[in-house]
Structure 1
Amino acid sequence: MNDKIQTFLDMLDHPLKQEMIEVVNIISNANSKIEGDIKWGGPSFSFKGDMATINPKIKNYVIVIFHKASLLNNAFGFLEEQTKGKAYAKFYTMEDVRKHADNLKKAVNAWVTLMENS
């Protein structure tokens, strides 16, 4: 996790802060090519283009917005397709985070592979 994201999370008041930190760690550690920053009001991740952003304004769950999920083969079992090619990953509890950690890593690595091959 980079310093900007760490500082953002340190200052964040969110009922699912620990779950959000864990999601950030999973994404950040899934592939060393992923870069993190604060963009659109939350932790954002990219590699050769914007991949995903966490929206901390939503308090009922941790939401990861995959900006161009339509480019990925949604075989990960946890993404909810949305309009404009987006998909959401929603984590309501730490159990949800742990349950979908491997598939979250697979989605991140699928993005890296897609961007490397395009």
Structure 2
Amino acid sequence: MANKIDEFVTKLKHPMKAEIEEAIKIIRGASSDLEEDVKWGGPSFDYKEPMATMNPRITDYVVFIFHKGELIKDKSGLLEPAPKGKAYLKLHSMKEIKDNKANIQGIVKSWIKIMNA
């Protein structure tokens, strides 16, 4: 049975749809404890509170907005600081997504660690 994110992506018309699907798969792979929904117009992941939401209106790259990204310890440098304590994870190609699988999952795991502290 498909969940809300899968249903959303199935209907999505986006030039980077395959990249979006891969990024979602990687995020899901970081923890089976993540909750999924479609909020604020895009696929959203929560762990105890909202963690990250993808913005499908941006079509030049795949972007996830980490709602309290300033709290995340990102050694990879993938997260870009954004207003109001947020951070952007911008992914420009399938190669970049696949090459950064461990880094993306590390960002998610860092969030989980913060929420469990």
Q: Give the TM-score band, short-chain normalised.
A: over 0.9
2:114 alignment partner AA: L
Distance 1:56 1:64 in 2: 9
Task: Find the counterpart in structure 2 of residue 19 from structure 1.
Answer: 19
Hey, what's the Cα distance between the residues in 2 that align with 1:87 and 1:4? Answer: 24
The question of 1:42 aligning with 2:42 is answered: yes
In structure 1, what is the Cα distance between the partners aligned to 2:32 and 2:114?
Answer: 15
Task: Report the CA distance between 1:74 and its aligned residue.
Answer: 2.7
Structure 2 distance, partners of 1:84, 1:76, is 21
* Alpha-carbon shift at residue 107 of structure 1 (Å): 0.6
**Structure 1: how far apart are the matches of 2:116 and 2:76?**
20
Q: Runs of 4+ in structure 1 displaced over 4 angstroms?
A: none
Aligned pairs, number:
116
Is there any run of 5+ residues in structure 2 with no aligned partner, and where?
none
The residue type paired with residue 28 of structure 1 is: R
Q: CA RMSD in A?
A: 1.0
Rounded Cα–Cα distance in structure 2 between residues aligned with 1:54 and 1:79: 14
Q: Percent identity?
A: 43
Structure 2 distance, partners of 1:38, 1:58, is 16
Q: What amino acid maps onto 2:74 in structure 1?
A: N
Partner of 1:65: 65
Post-superposition offset of 1:105: 0.1
Give TM-score, length-normalised by structure 2.
0.95
